[in-house]
Amino acid sequence: MGEGVMKIDWEKTPLVPVVVQDADTKEVLMLAYMNEEAFNLSRETGYAHYYSRSRKRLWKKGESSGHVQEIVRMLLDCDADTLLLLVHQHGVACHTGRKSCFFTDVQKAETISEPTVDTAAAYGVVDTLYHTILERRNADPETSYTAKLLQGKENSMLKKIVEEAGEFCFAVKDDDEEEIVYEAADLAYHVLVALGKKEISPDRIRRELARRFGISGIEEKKSRKES
């Protein structure tokens, strides 16, 4: 940046919102956030990097799906606290497989576009299910079991986890392989609902498991007590 040009005060604004727009069609694709590291990486590499508030980590757009965003221009607003990215979008911007993340008409209460790409294989079943759970937060609880769990009393949601954990344990005790798999899937789903309620990405669980990998149970418990 040249002398006298506005710059982001990262101490004052450690996380800035980023509006992402298609450089050719000018369609708004998504809203994300950048910290200073993501901002610098985006400038240096020419590809969009963001900071995920749910995953609590830096990520390159398209790191799993290959749907990267090639930056054409990075524009800073007059208050120096919001960015506009003009990009060439490779593939689609939304994890749902839609070109844009803005596909719900609130006034008409309808979806205005359908997925054009199947992103389930790229993101994996756990991430896909987690994002589906997030999308169900405002659904009709009369027609969506997930919405009923999320909008109901928290104790009811937690009791289901305890119930499913018990059924999983009994399946293991009975040495019933098919029932073990079935109940484990039920338990995993209800745990993901609870994570969705607290907006904690499964990616954070994977990273915690990775952190523990190769550490014995005794050593891991000892490290927690000492920290």
For the segment 168-212, what is each residue's pLDDT rounded down to a tens digit?
Answer: 999 999 999 999 999 999 999 999 999 999 999 999 998 898 888
How far apart CA 216 and CA 205 sit, in angstroms, is 18
Same domain for 57 and 136? Answer: no
Scanning the structure block, which residue is given the tokens 């400038």?
43
Beta carbons of 87 and 64 less than 8 angstroms apart? no
123 has a pLDDT exceeding 90:
no
Q: Choose one of 73, 90, 118: the last residue of a domain.
A: 118
For the segment 152-167, what is each residue's pLDDT rounded down to a tens digit?
Answer: 999 999 999 999 999 9
pTM: 0.70
Kindly state whether residue 93 falls inside one of the protein's structural domains. yes
Same domain for 143 and 55? Answer: no
Same domain for 155 and 114? Answer: no
Structural domains in the chain (count): 2
Same domain for 114 and 80? Answer: yes
227 has a pLDDT exceeding 50:
no
Q: Choose one of 81, 100, 118: the last residue of a domain.
A: 118
223 has a pLDDT exceeding 80:
no
For the segment 44-94, what is each residue's pLDDT rounded down to a tens digit?
Answer: 999 999 999 988 899 999 988 899 999 999 999 999 999 999 999 999 999
Same domain for 208 and 170? Answer: yes
Q: Choose one of 118, 149, 178: the last residue of a domain.
A: 118
